[in-house]
Amino acid sequence: MTRYYTRACNFYYGKISKNLVKDKKSLPLNGNKEISFDQIELISRNSKKKIKINKLLNLPKILKKKVTQDLKYITSKKKNFANLNFNKSPNIMGILNLTPDSFSDGGKFNTKTKGIKQAFKMFESGASIIDVGGESTKPGSKGINSKLEWNRINKILRVICKKIPISLDTRKSDIMQKGIKLGVKIINDVSGLNYDPKTINILNKYKIPFVLQHSQGTPENMQNNPVYKNVLLDIYDFFDKKIHFLRSIGIKHNNIIIDPGIGFGKNLKHNMNLICNISIFHSLGFPILVGISRKKFIKDLSGDNDTKNRTGGTVSSVIYLMMQGVQILRVHEVNEILQGIKVFKNLIKN
């Protein structure tokens, strides 16, 4: 039997969106009238078809039931957690790499003084939460042991967890548990909970919110010719299957964020397909996080190979993803990104 997927599309933003929702000509995304849509794209592995929301009654009975259920997830209001406000769009997650070898800022903030200063700077600039990591997961990087990872982040976490909301970027269950005890608000595991089998037990025990990210392979080998049958639908199916598994083992809360993992086992074509069709993941019913800051696809598209000089490409990507209703954006330059978002929002008010 053919499986169909529902992607919200043809979005409106700001004042125009509010008026269309009021006139019942568009549907609000996640209950937020400031961003709405008036079409869906019905996708299978063999076909695509765009349909206006006022024509959905003409669908066959089985398809209509499927789309109606998906629309319920797409339009339902999300509950806030971990200082993330899903009644606005988007939330900014600031990146704090406490590593000597991360791809664009390795060694820049990996001392106690510099790390603490940068965390507060990003939070005061408007980040909703700061994502702290002590292990590089850039393409080609090799894993490190828990002792080294914890030594890199321990002293800084002890200071900042008491004062600002922190997400912990780690693949290891023992690091997760130590971080949770210090007060981190979210666990962000780039492996999709596949690296350490004990992570599931930690998440279940503490009932903590977490990011479920897709990646193919490990950082060491993930860019060695990644292959998908259909990158968009393969990753959707990964999330769907994983969520069902998590429910089956007792993780019942909805404080889960999904991240398609741009650059984690994807080439340029895969990344572009995901970014351009990112709104398909709204039908899973969870907030979406995307990390696009300074990513390689910006170099591939612009021809500029300076990883520290990709702010322009990051800003344009952020605006595009915001217009698709992505709720959380993980970035390095918090002040510059928020400046771009504020200017854009004010321009479309007129």
pLDDT at 104 over 60: no
In our burial notation (b when 16+ CB lie closer than 10 A, e otherwise), range 175-210 reads bbbbbbebebbbbbbbbbbbbbeebbebbeeeebbb
Q: How many Cα atoms sit within 13 Å of 6 on the Cβ side? A: 26
Query: Which residues sit opposite 189 in a β-bridge?
Result: 212
Q: What is the pLDDT of residues 274-325, one digit of tens each?
A: 999 999 999 999 999 999 998 889 999 988 667 677 899 999 999 999 999 9
Catalytic residue selected from 295, 308, 310, 349: 295
Q: What is the pLDDT of residues 148-198, one digit of tens each?
A: 999 999 999 999 999 999 999 999 999 999 999 999 999 999 999 999 999
Region 20-40: what's the mean pLDDT?
96
Q: What is the pLDDT of residues 251-271, one digit of tens each?
A: 999 999 999 999 999 999 999
Radius of gyration of the chain (CA): 20
CATH number, domain 91-347: 3.20.20.20
Distance separating alpha carbons of residues 252 and 243, to the nearest angstrom: 10
Distance separating alpha carbons of residues 95 and 115, to the nearest angstrom: 11
Full-model pTM: 0.94
Q: How many CB atoms lie within 10 A of CB 165?
A: 19
Q: What was the pLDDT predicted at 53?
A: 96
295 is catalytic: yes
Structure-token pair, residue 270? 């895969």
pLDDT at 101 over 70: no
- Residue 184, φ and ψ in degrees, nearest 5: -65, 150
pLDDT at 107 over 80: no
Residues 6+ apart with CB under 8 A from 77: 30, 31, 32, 86, 87
Distance of CA 191 to CAs 4, 59, 304, 315, Å?
Answer: 27, 38, 29, 26
Distance of CA 150 to CAs 69, 117, 172, 179, 213, Å?
Answer: 43, 19, 10, 9, 22
Q: What was the pLDDT predicted at 303?
A: 83
Catalytic residue selected from 78, 266, 296, 330: 330
pLDDT at 106 over 70: no
Let me know: does 6 contact 74? Beta carbons within 8 Å: yes
Distance of CA 320 to CAs 163, 306, 335, 341, 346, Å?
Answer: 32, 22, 18, 10, 16
Domain chopping of the chain, boundaries: 5-75, 91-347
φ/ψ bin of 58: left (φ > 0), alpha (ψ from -120 to 50), beta (otherwise): alpha
Structure-token pair, residue 33? 């009238």
pLDDT at 108 over 70: no
Q: Taking each helix axis from N to C terminus, what angle separates 199-206 and 173-182, rounded to the nearest 10 degrees?
A: 20
pLDDT at 103 over 60: no
